[in-house]
Structure 1
Amino acid sequence: MDVFKNLITVQIAALGNVDPVLVYQAIDNPRSLENGDLAIALPRLRLKGNPAAIAKEWAASFVPNEYVTESSAAGPFLNFRINKTALIKLTLGQVSDKVEKYGHNSLGNGKTVIVEFSSPNIAKPFHAGHLRSTIIGAFVRNIYDANGWNTITMNYLGDWGKQYGLLAVGFAKYGSEEKLIADPIKHLYDVYVAINKDAGEDETIHDQARSYFKKMEDGDEEALALWRRFRDLSIVKYKDIYGRLNIHFDVYSGESQVGKGMAEAMKLLHECKLLEESEGALIIDMEKYKLGKTVVQKKDGTTLYLTRDIGAAMERYEKYKFDKMIYVVASQQDLHLKQLFKTLEMLKFDWASKLEHVNFGMVMGMSTRKGTVVFLEDILEEAKETMHEVMRKNEKKYAEIADPEQVADEIGISAVKIQDNSARRIKNYDFDMARMCTFEGDTGPYIQYAHARLASVERKSGLEINHNADLSLLTEPQAVDVIRTVAQYPDLIKSLLNGYEPCNVVTYAFKLSHDISACFENLWVRGADPAVADARLLMYWSARITLGNAMRMLGLRPLERM
């Protein structure tokens, strides 16, 4: 749509002596296509005078051209009609040129962004909260990547603190080498639960845990060797889960690895006179910023995670000189992140203004048929089994799938991700296995089905994609609707930088899927006149490429058979 928007912008900016950037940003899709293909709500231009009168005057003064054929006023709205033939040729030409890069741009101009997300605590289950951070964090990374930024994804593991002292004490009592190697995350969690139960009845266990963690902080090699094993084995397992979810990290970091930075942070906090003593501990008082008081060092000399987060941020800027750093963390941590950002600002780091917190709501009712679930893998397994059962019902199609187990897994993961991304990220949502695994309505399986059906159209046509097809033959309203939606994709990608809302991509993917579905009944490829078949096949191919790009933006692997 850029060509059309630019031509409108030039004329309207000149007519009203308005900033062209403001005009371009105000051009939107109208509420109804009966009014036009594009529209400007004049109040957005902050003009003096009556918006309805100005709209009428500008509509009369607008000079049509080969791309924008008409302008009309409707109250404070200025509507435009565009040349459908030009829209079709330009859009399908761009998809043909860019293919999987269709929608990408160079807005970021190679600037660097660090996106920290997922960040599970070792020895605690990889649960729904981590799933949300993982899915949303990967989405934020994809947004910046598509908008021309250099992206660095970082998994900042919760791998330090008194709980590791507790875990070590527990492992000495309940640990099994065999179980640790077989499933480190689950076994360490079981050990942690057991020793926590004991500690509830025996306070001396907490003393042992504190003592063990103090040894870790003091660099005791024996204590660190056991902790290192727990960490390394857990990361191997995490990588398996992330691979299954189609997610990768450039850097595995962790609270434990903030050594020099933490010492430097404490030194600076002292130098800037930000620390106060309170009952033997060191605190920062942020009451005047309505952020309360926060402890940075306990009375036994051990640090807390705010201290380590300050050190980590300092080390990251030193190493990467980032232009932006984003923390994708649940809304329960809003206060902690505000305290972190304010502390870095008080330390007079000019890059503190480059930090951003992308938060999200809770997942409610995380359970399976077997009862309450703790581990994400249980959820993924159940989603896979549910989809496998559905697939088996169609024996003919099932026989055509090379690896039905893998396909069932992908559809199950798509179901989980689309349900997670269907509402605004700050909202809590109810996890519903039955609803998300259906092919009825707007679900992950439905989007995968739409993509697979488009791939099937290409296979069954027996034709090669002809990028020089005669596109003037695509005259049907359903074809124009599909191409108009395809044409909106690049603007969608730009808009995602404001708000990071995956639900906007989900809505777009469903809209495109519905538009495509409306074509299948009448716009056949097989049996059509050869020139018409070529044009329609190029349209379906472009729709598949664009739908696939939107799916990849959401972290899905588009399927060609299911």
Structure 2
Amino acid sequence: MLLNLHKNALNLTFTAKCAAYAEVAAYVLGTAGSEHDRQTPPHKKACELRLGLQRNLHATQAQLIVPAGFRLAGVAPALENSGGERVTLAGKSTALRFISRLVAPALYAALPSVRRAAVDEALDLVRVASTDVTAYSATASAASAHSTIATNKLALLARLTAATPPPANRSAVTLADLAVWDLARSITPPSQLNNSSQPNDAKVDEANAWVAAFEANVPLLRDAAALVDRTLATAYVLDEFRFDIAKELVRVIASPNHNEDVIFPLIENKYPKDGGSGEFVVAVPRLKLPGISADVIAKNLESKFTPDARFTSIKADGVFLKFVYNPAYLRDRLIPRVLSQAETYGQNSSGYGKVSLVEFSSPNIAKPFHVGHLRSTIIGNFIENTLRANGWTTVTINYLGDWGKQYGLLAVGYNKYGHAAKLEADPIRHLFEVYVAINNDASEDASIHDDARNYFARMEEGDPVSLELWQKFVDLSIVKYREIYSRVNVGFDVYSGESKYSAKLMRGVVDRLKELDLLKLDQGAQIVDLNAYKLGGAIIEKSNGGMMYLSRDVAAAIARQKEYKFDNMVYVVGAQQDFHFKQLFKILELMGLPWAEKCQHVNFGMIKSKDGNMSTRKGTVVFLEDILDAVQESMLAVMKKNEAKFAQIVNPTAVADTIGITGIMIQDMGARRNKDYEFNWDRMLAFEGDTGPYLQYAHTRLCSIERKADFEVGPHVNVSVLTEPVAAALVDCIAMYPDVVREAGVQLEPCTIVSYAFRLSHAVSNCVEALYVMNQPQEIAAARLALYKAARITLGNALRALGIVPLERM
């Protein structure tokens, strides 16, 4: 269901400069209000239009991403993307035509040819009128180019609106009407209708009158515009600062080689060391401007800037040009947006239209889910959360170890030591006991291994009796796994396993490798020689004909690409398997599979124990469930020490469980994932210092402030009275969160979010100690409450990104 939803979702991204009013209106006119639309729940509609904002806020083209395998019943095959890759349509006319043909053919495809020709002419005129300012930069200043474009747009609008009256109703609308309406709104958005700085006020009034009449006749247009405006309101405030800087640098440099797209990536900002001193930095040498030296060029550029409401100072510092933004300007724009966006604050649409498979956890059936499995589970869950926050469609896979001779050994052991009642009550623990017992027996009686091989051979041959017992082991184990995963707030879209990739599929891999002349015999085994890549010989088939794990992974990767058409596939597996994945990815590459480069191994270090290594066969392993239970009990004991607070908690056992799990997860994810760490019980439970309980305390403290206030605050609250340095420091920190989400989406390092959460919590603590809400004048109390609510939203989002449930009381 998840993938079907993705395949039937059109992903439209746009910017303030190419606001997609016409594109969204075409979709709304084609679907909204129809009988089918009223009767069909959203998740079952023929297709869904998802709206997102491009990071390049000055881009002049909309992008419509059509996912791989896109299907829509009743649509001509030419409009379906049934190929192997997603399709990206760039440009307003292209996206508009596609959407109209897809869901509203009456807007274009159903028109007579003569009428279509007239519509085409209008669309072309609108496109030319929307030419980017960079087309003029070689012959005129940016300011004059903007003025020229605005004048051209208005002249065209006057011509088009004079020739065509607003359509009388929905059925009379064509693409040309939508394009003109879109152009008019881009020149005179509702927020600027009374702005006297608009050129040619008489023509602006005419355009506004035409738009008003059109929207009055076709009210659905207002719905479409509202969807676009809501998306535009999610613009990342610091990106707006960056683009303001880019625009000003284009103005002062006045070179055809330096447009906004070139300059924007050169603008960097680091976390400010002190509150209220946030700055952006441009390394002048990277601008590649002619001159004596970079520091002289920096001074020259500085002289051409004048501080304004956005930037308190613009100064040359050696070879750097520093822009210090106005904390009040940031505050007034940031807090309302955070309050409005709530749990979506920090998200972006950079991954729109793309599918990521994330394989993680992957325990072996009948073996304990121990603390060693924890790292893959929580890191994989974090990666999935982070990719979704960056706009990706994700599919999570738990690739269970459920096949091989060891399951023959387990079956032999169960027939000797198994108890049906124990298996039903706690399948993983009982099967583990059986596995340890039969391994002890096998160490003294080698014939047990022969029995196990024979049993597994019957499984591979499809013997129903042998498979029935194996399937029971698998099914009961998955039920227990789900219970454990729910405690750490983890879920999976797909439970798969090694058994899914049969000997026949692996034999197909071997045959294909032979066809490509990639296999060679080495001491009777079939290998892929990777010595040229310093990866040794990758064994595919043993000398006795048995298939190696590598052949199964190749078969699995090929099958997944065929099924999901993924844009990347992430394997979250310990660093001990680095070599294995290097061999796997190189084999896929040598097989000529273009998507091999989309496969990624995200590794991590080991959890060290003071008690030494844990062994499954010897039975010395500690079950994760036992650790979680012990942590829960310890947290309950701590919470009971404060009887007054404990009495206010509705479900203290669940709260203690969440705090304990938070402690475990933060200890695990606090450092870079490739590092080993020692499982430290005392630190994990501590409320002092940078620990999980401290983060939960910071969140519940903010919730408490909101509860105790006798009023609510919304996005329109006046926050201008927040002038204190500690408030500016907290605003700065809140503003950084979207950047942190982007960075985490690239680096896939949980510590990126963890470090940010602590930084934010420290800023909150400093602020709460100095700025009270209770017993303050209403204007001050409301502004401070808004700040704390924005901080609570942001901290909660950071915790959720880590897979942690934020608590409201503790």
Q: Give me the TM-score of the superposition, normalised by structure 1.
A: 0.95
Structure 1 residues 153-164: aligned runs within 5 Å = 153-164=396-407
Cα distance, 1:396 vs structure 2: 0.2
The one of 779, 783, 787 equivalent to 1:531 is 779
1:352 aligns with 2:596: yes
Matched AA of 1:142: N
* Selected match of 2:528 from 257, 280, 284: 284
> Is 1:123 matched up with 2:366?
yes
Which residue type is aligned with residue 657 of structure 2?
D
Corresponding residue for 1:406?
654
Distance 1:514 1:272, change over 3 A: same
CA contact (8 A) 2:363 2:369 kept: yes
Rounded Cα–Cα distance in structure 2 between residues aligned with 1:526 and 1:285: 72
Q: Does 1:488 align with 2:731?
A: no
Residue 324 of structure 1 contacts residue 354 of structure 1 at CA under 8 Å; is this kept in 2? yes
Change (3 A) 1:545 1:388: same
Max Rg structure: 2
SS state at 1:557 partner: coil
2:303 is paired with a residue whose SS is: helix
Report the identity percentage: 50
- Residues 246, 13 of structure 1: alpha-carbon distance in 2 compared, 3 angstrom cutoff: farther
Letter in 2 for 1:297: E
Instruction: State the one-letter code of the partner of 1:204.
Output: S
**Structure 2 residue 707 is the aligned partner of structure 1 residue 464:** no
Q: 1:170 Cα shift?
A: 1.4
Match 2:515 to one of 243, 257, 271: 271
CA distance in 2, matches of 1:231, 1:160: 10
Match of 1:312 in 2: 556
Tell me how far apart the structure 2 counterparts of residues 532 and 377 of structure 1 sit (CA, whole Å).
48
Query: 5 Å matches for 1:251-262?
Result: 251-259=494-502, 261-262=505-506
Letter in 1 for 2:421: E
Q: What residue is the counterpart of 2:49 in the other structure?
A: none
The equivalent of 1:27 in structure 2 is 268
Moved more, 406-415 or 261-270: 261-270
Moved more, 256-265 or 329-338: 256-265
Verify the 8 A CA contact 2:275 2:728 in the aligned structure 1: no
**Distance in 2 of aligned mates of 1:23 and 1:469:** 32
Q: CA deviation at 1:109?
A: 1.6
SS of residue in 2 equivalent to 1:480: helix
- Indicate yes or no: 2:569 matched with 1:328: no
The answer on 1:8 being equivalent to 2:255 is: no
Q: Tell me how far 1:34 sits from its aligned partner.
A: 8.5
Matched, 1:42 2:283: yes
CA RMSD of aligned residues (A): 2.1
May I ask how many residue pairs the two structures share in their alignment? 560
1:223 aligned to 2:473? no
CA separation of 1:44/1:394 partners in 2, compared to 1, >3 Å: closer, same or farther? farther
1:552 counterpart residue number: 800
Q: Please state whether the residue corresponding to 1:521 is helix, strand or coil.
A: helix
Say if 1:12 and 1:364 are closer, same or farther in 2 by CA, change over 3 A.
farther
Counterpart CA distance in 2 for 1:363 and 1:62 is 54
1:311-460 matched pairs, under 5 angstroms: 311-365=555-609, 374-460=622-708
- CA 1:312/1:21 → structure 2, altered by over 3 Å: closer, same or farther? farther
Hey, what's the Cα distance between the residues in 2 that align with 1:44 and 1:177?
74
Alignment partner, residue 146 of structure 1: 389
CA contact (8 A) 1:128 1:366 kept: no
Q: Distance in 2 between matches of 1:178 and 1:343?
A: 46
User: How far off its partner does 1:73 sit?
Assistant: 2.4
Structure 1, unpaired ranges of 5+: none
User: Relative to 1, partners in 2 of residues 1:378 and 1:367: Cα closer, same or farther, differing over 3 Å?
Assistant: farther
User: C-alpha separation between the residues in 1 aligned to 2:284 and 2:437?
Assistant: 63
Partner residue of 1:204?
A: 447
User: In structure 2, what is the equivalent of residue 214 of structure 1?
Assistant: 457
**Structure 1 residues 156-165 or 122-131, which shifts more?**
122-131
TM-score by length of 2: 0.67
1:270 is matched by which residue type in structure 2? K
| Residue identity opposite 2:609 in structure 1 | G
- Alpha-carbon deviation of 1:60? 2.6
Distance in 1 separating the partners of 2:275 and 2:398: 48
Q: Which has the higher contact order (CA 8 A, sep 6+)?
A: 1
| Structure 1 residue identity aligned to 2:427 | P
Match of 2:546 among 302, 317, 320: 302
Please say which of residues 235-244 and 220-229 is displaced more in the overlay: 220-229
Alpha-carbon contact 2:276-2:725 (below 8 Å) kept: no
**1:33-72 alignment to 2 at 5 Å?**
33=274, 36-40=277-281, 42=283, 45=286, 47=288, 50-72=293-315
Instruction: Give the Cα separation in 2 of the matches to 1:282 and 1:471.
Output: 70
Secondary structure of the structure 2 residue equivalent to 1:471: coil
1:141-170 Cα deviation digits (max 9, x unpaired): 111100111111111111111211111121
Alignment partners' CA distance in 2, 1:5 and 1:196: 63
One-letter code aligned to 1:29: K
- 8 Å Cα contact 2:339/2:714 also seen in 1: no
- Give, as a single letter, the amino acid of the residue that structure 2 aligns with 1:470: N
Match of 1:476 in 2: 724
CA contact (8 A) 2:606 2:677 kept: yes
Q: Is the 8 A contact 2:382 2:750 kept in 1?
A: yes
C-alpha distance in 2 between matches for 1:5 and 1:317: 38
Measured in 2, the distance between the counterparts of 1:226 and 1:551 equals 41
Distance 1:466 1:351, change over 3 A: closer
Where does structure 1 differ by over 6 angstroms across 4 or more consecutive aligned residues? Answer: none
CA–CA separation in structure 2 for the residues paired with 1:107 and 1:31: 25
Say if 1:359 and 1:426, in contact at 8 Å, map to a contact too: yes
Mark the CA change 1:207 to 1:294 in structure 2 (over 3 Å): closer, same or farther: farther
1:293 aligns with 2:537: yes
Q: 1:172 to 1:68 in 2, by over 3 A?
A: same
1:183 is matched with 426
